[in-house]
Structure 1
Amino acid sequence: MPLPRVRFRTGAAAALAAVVLAATACSADATPATPAAGATTTAAVTPPPAGAGFDYQIGGAYTPASDVKVVSRDHTAQPAAGRYNICYVNAFQAQPGAEGEWGDLLLRDANGTVVIDEDWDEALLDLRTADKRQRVAAKVNGWVDDCAAKGYQGIEPDNYDSFTRSRGLLSDADAQAYIRLLSAHAHQKGLAIAQKNTSELSGNRQANGLDFAIAEECGQQKNCGEFTPAFGDHVIVIEYTDSGLKTACSRWGSLSIVRRDHDVVPKGEAGYVRKTC
């Protein structure tokens, strides 16, 4: 069962984000931000409706509430009838226990040790060469094909920011080169594709072919405004605390905003929480 990747920008992580943001702003790959009133999208794909009621169901599917117009579910689940459906895939890291499926595509350090995201006990995928990026994308795009066949309209590729946890082995350029492979394939299938977190790369969203953003805890971290210059109101905000929800609603109320429990359990299970503005 996938769980949300909540990343707090503190200490060294904040410093790294600032460096990446500055480098991105100066790179030839950077594109001017679109007006905050709305972001352009690739032709023939439709992003989720801006400001629509949202539910985050990657921990298990259940019948959405009447106010919900957009739902995100794991790629193994069926989409929700009558809603805009986003298909979640763990695109940059291996699910726990699935390391054997990736062979030489796991990221290893100079000693041959697999690099692990310790927060989630997930092995990072090796995106350092064009060949490996193509091979990783081939597997992930197989899941994207399944999403399209099931009737999903959008893709949520998680862990775009895995380069920040790679011990310096991966760069933001590696991540962006790889996500362009995913976005091109998603668009071929008629699917919109999200930028998940990683606000420091928002300025490159057009070059990377990204159509909307999904931001966890940007109310809590007070950085939702780092997404809106590039994506306009096409930003989905997921908070896990009442304080984060209050801040997001008061400062960025035109976005799609929801509070879920940290384990995003299905409705009816212990610990379930869903609140909106």
Structure 2
Amino acid sequence: MRRPFLLVALLLLVAACSTAADDKPAAPDPAGARWQPRPGTAWQWQLSGRLDTSVDVPVYDIDGFDNSAAAVSALHREGRKAICYISTGAWEDWRPDAGKFPASVRGRGNGWDGERWLDIRRTDVLEPLVAARFDMCRAKGFDAVEPDNMDGYRNTTGFPLTAADQLRYNRLVARLAHDRGLAVGLKNDLDQIPELLGDFDFAVNEQCAQYGECTTLTPFVRAGKAVFHVEYELPTDRFCDQARSLGLSSMLKKYELGAWRRPC
């Protein structure tokens, strides 16, 4: 009679532990569980207009604020991954959290209406704001983030930014993404690829063919990490052969980044 009693007690104990475990918040995914896009992965990049999900590619890079959790879920049901576009190096006056960025961190315009470079040295101000944006990306179910304007130190920002300032900030951005189980891409910032390759899971580049810079992205490809690349002004016959030889995921887009695309 004692063996059945002990068995029942053991089963009750296991059930209780299982229930308790279910009540706990999920642990963060280990680094190895993050999505890792591979070189040559086809993609769509759409930041304006109504989201068009008819493009048959495995990766969509879309605006994190403008798209809902339902939109991300719809992409996932089609077997696609979703990248959350978020500006981390420039202030945008139309965003719902724009008022949380004090005037002291807003610098000169970056060439786009309503946008100003940020003083990336002020991590005391920017870290919680970027973290909140990445929390939004995670809550909506995104797989990764594309932090934009990550090369302010090479531009006229209104602040005396150095390469060291940029490295420090970009690594902070990468850590904030990884802490949330999100993959993260290095946007442009070609000169710092050697130092930042280990911190980022993929790269996003604009116009490397036009400026003769595409070979600079080779370290990402050699590391098995995708390079998502677009050109705006060159026809595809001017860059696709090189892009394919280098292992880039390349396409021609228009500057407004609507649904139209012409892939290599």
Distance 1:48 1:230 in 2: 11
Q: In structure 2, what is the equivalent of residue 9 of structure 1? A: none
| Structure 1 segment 1-277 matched on structure 2, within 5 A | 43-60=32-49, 61-66=51-56, 68-76=57-65, 77-78=67-68, 79=72, 80-81=75-76, 82-97=79-94, 100-107=99-106, 114-128=107-121, 132-165=122-155, 166-167=157-158, 169-206=160-197, 209-232=199-222, 234-243=226-235, 245-253=236-244, 254-266=247-259, 273-277=260-264
Q: In structure 1, what is the equivalent of residue 9 of structure 2? A: none
Asked if structure 1 preserves the Cα contact closer than 8 Å seen for 2:42 and 2:59, the reply is yes
Shift of 1:69: 0.9
Normalised by the length of structure 1, the TM-score is 0.72
Long gaps (5+) in structure 2: 1-30
Normalised by the length of structure 2, the TM-score is 0.75
Asked if structure 2 preserves the Cα contact closer than 8 Å seen for 1:48 and 1:84, the reply is no
Query: Residues 239 and 104 of structure 1: is their aligned pair in 2 closer, same or farther, counting only changes over 3 Å?
Result: same
Asked if structure 2 preserves the Cα contact closer than 8 Å seen for 1:105 and 1:125, the reply is no
Per-residue CA deviation, residues 103-143 of structure 1 (Å, 9 max, x unaligned), is 15524xxxxxx422244442221122xxx213202111211
Identity %: 28
User: What letter is aligned with 1:46?
Assistant: W
Asked if structure 2 preserves the Cα contact closer than 8 Å seen for 1:224 and 1:248, the reply is no
Count the aligned residue pairs: 218
Shift of 1:168: 5.7
SS at match of 2:177: helix
Larger deviation, residues 178-187 vs 90-99:
90-99
SS at match of 2:32: coil
User: What letter is aligned with 2:108?
Assistant: V
Asked if structure 2 preserves the Cα contact closer than 8 Å seen for 1:94 and 1:123, the reply is yes
Q: CA RMSD in A?
A: 2.1
Distance 1:218 1:252 in 2: 10
Distance 1:211 1:134 in 2: 25
Q: Which has the higher helix share?
A: 2
Greater Cα radius of gyration, structure 1 or 2: 2
Distance 1:151 1:259 in 2: 28
